[in-house]
Structure 1
Amino acid sequence: MNIGDKVRLLRAKEQGVVSRFLPGNMIEIEIEDGFRIPVMRSELVPVSPLESERLLKTSNFAPQKTVAPSAPAILSNQGIYLAFVPVNDREYTLHLINNTDWEFPYVLGEESAGASGGIQFTGIHSGLLKPKSQQKMNDLYAHAKFEEWPTFVVQGLWFRAGKSSLRAPLVKRFKARATTFFKNKTTVPVLSQPGFLTQLDAETNDQPQASAPNSNRAAQPQPKRISAEDLKAEMFKPNSDVADISVERPSSVVDLHIDALLPNGTGGRTPGDLLKLQLDTFEKMLESAIANGMSDITFIHGVGSGALRTELHKRLGQHPNVKFFEDAQKQKFGYGATKVTIK
């Protein structure tokens, strides 16, 4: 059972669409009148279009009701996934899944570091996904080269014939993280095959995340950072002879340009020293935002050669408290800023 699937209640007449997974084996469904209700998973069964049609034709337990033409349809508005389906024990095939009731025109590509240090975009596929459909991509991704997998970029629009609400375009980036990717397999919607999923249009991140299987590769050195949990523990520690640690709430937008960090000049610092200052400021502001319970923070890094942006995205992709990151509003920041959404 996945977000976007149509279900019915075992002990009631209501039908609806799965909108969210809740703690305690509960599922939130959206019923015909637009209300969302929590229901135990054991009280729900999936409904296929064929089953629904047969039930209407064969039911003799109650008189059939005529549905007014103006009755609102139950729409599945969420359910766009990237799915990695194992071909064997060494390779995976990438699929784009549309488990909604909307048509989804899309562009899918990869971002990776270019030879000159900048970001290189490579288009993989474009097309139109019909409701409850999927598109298999041609590329195979090797498990042995997991750390080299690119950042996947999905851009899409929403379309339904006739009257419907206007929805904002979907633009999402996904970088597979070794600490969160392979923990649990699940059944891929539409395909009904086992695989690894990430949902691109989720309001909240309810997907099970995972750690990669053991490998013989040497552990890569991780950036040294202050733990957000340690900062929170210090903030709530009872008063004692030792002064409490105060973590200042950072601005929602942090400018990492050198002239903003060093308004009085660089003082003869080397390029390596300046890059270290930018990265240290980024780490400090990110951890402070997490410790203060902020939902998001934006870093202005500029375009330049792309080296700073690449390093920030690498660290964000490895951070356990980062839900996802994406380009900030281009109308406001151009192409030189990244918005980070915090778990």
Structure 2
Amino acid sequence: MVKVGDKVRFLNSVGGGTVVKINKDIAYVEEEDGFETPILIHECVIIESAKDKSSSPVTKEIKVSQNFSKIQPNDISENDDDNKLSIIETEEGDRINLVLAFLPENAKNLQNGKFDTYLVNDSNYYIFFTYLNKTESGWNTRYSGIVEPNIQIHIEEFGKEDLNDLERICIQYVAFKKDKPFQLKNTASVEHKLDTVKFYKLHSFRENDYFDENALILNIVKNDVPERRFELNGAEIEAAIKSKKDIDTHQKQAVNKKHHRNNEPVEVDLHIHELLDSTTGMSNSDILNYQLDKFREVLENYKNAKGQKIIFIHGKGDGVLRKAILTELKNKYKHYDYQDASFREYGYGATQVTIR
């Protein structure tokens, strides 16, 4: 039970402090800025009891958004080192999704404020993990522990003086379930190169699925697939672009010849993962524009191939890319015929264009 003097964190929002007054079911919490925040008692998680002020504070903190199981203060036992929780599994949770999230404690003062780091376990698996950063002498462990299924765990608080240490970070993990059979998952080590300048820009923190507040989100694992980051210097990027142009040119010539011989339609997959190895730093708008540029490029290459059929695979999804393609065809390529591609082969996920 929360009482005056307890140090608490808020369950459904970022923040916390020391309880200075209790009125019925409302606790008044004094935060670091000296202001008192009224909050429902059941939305407070005790991280240091008043009677234990002389001992070290609890280092394991758990924060849950509306999309995850709710944790009440009495769910966490001070005498239980594992902080056992009732486990709630979801239908889609047997695929591992791990997210590293950074939240500003004061979005109005990014220059001087602190930031909180959370690991989000959006799966039905327990995740044993280590959170590391790279130094000149090697890798340094910043946190290690276990996060329960469908739970978000607070890893650390840091300030701008720590940002230089966070330019290279890594999450290593092992997934498992307790007291029941489960599908074996591969262990992995996922590195990220953080652009620390983003911590000074408010627009870097965006609306997300896991927190009520805007956050800077880094995907660690998506649907069982660990995220991989590729780091290239300027010379390597230039060489890769030149090489890709040479390959694309060769492939286009080969397709043209095959068409004239076999009169077969050409397939072009516009899914972004088929076009790029990584979309790091790209917004949804950037991705859509890249896909449309590829669409226009293909039509330009085949503009003299009368009768050529081209099938653009765009997928169903939210229909954003499909609508953009149809708009292009109606406005810029009116002389071409177009229709939905074979439903049997592509469902509603492709459009066929015939060059006229």
Which structure features the higher share of helix residues?
Answer: 2
Q: Same fold (TM over 0.5)?
A: no
Larger Rg: 2
Taking structure 2 as the reference length, the TM-score comes to 0.36
Q: TM-score normalised to the size of structure 1?
A: 0.37
